[in-house]
A = this chain, B = another copy of it.
Amino acid sequence: MANRKGLKGEMKLEGFLCFALYSANNAMQRVTKAAYKNIGLTYSQYLVMAVLWEGGVQSVNDIGKKLFLESNTLTPLIKKLETLNLLERNRSSKDERKVMVSLTKEGKTLEKESRSHANSVVEKIGLSMKDFKELQSKIVRLREQLVKD
């Protein structure tokens, strides 16, 4: 607890990065919500679909590791996508604790449709490729620091 130049200063500093992230994420959620509404998905739902487009059939836990989410968040989300007929849930026969998630034909088709909407988000962000990648990697490093332990 050494090295402090006044608690007040540190408190504000903490507030700034936390709050920047919080408010920027809120803003991003609003933009993505508008963009993906056209294909009938929320951004969270899109993320699950994206993981499936990328990685094919996998368990709830596999999806969770990629999205940093747990079953208490994913189960309702995946069930919602199931009611939209975009994916199927089936217990693994090898390990009946696992629920394997697979895309339906409809779910696979949606990938193509999603691309133009993703583009509109990129345009809204309005950064050069270089700035885009730099910022992305810095935020990823921040996340890695935060999920430690």
Given the complex of chains A and B, what is the CA–CA distance between A50 and B14 in angstroms? 12
Contacts of A140 in B (CB 8 A): 20, 24
Q: A115-B11, A118-B15, A119-B14 are in contact. Are A24 and B142 (CB under 8 A)?
A: yes
Q: Which segment, of A26-34, A77-85, A86-94, A99-107, faces chain B?
A: A26-34
Can you name the residue of chain B whose Cβ is closest to the Cβ of A24?
Answer: B143
A139 contact from B24, B30, B69, B119, Cβ within 8 A: B24
For this complex, 18 residue pairs linking A to B, each with C-beta atoms less than 8 Å apart, are A7-B115, A8-B115, A10-B119, A13-B132, A14-B118, A15-B50, A17-B132, A17-B139, A18-B32, A21-B24, A21-B25, A22-B28, A23-B67, A23-B68, A24-B142, A27-B146, A30-B146, A125-B145
15 extra interchain contacts, Cβ-Cβ under 8 A, other than A13-B129, A23-B67, A26-B69?
A7-B115, A7-B119, A8-B115, A11-B119, A17-B125, A20-B136, A21-B25, A22-B28, A22-B43, A26-B68, A27-B146, A124-B146, A125-B146, A127-B142, A135-B139
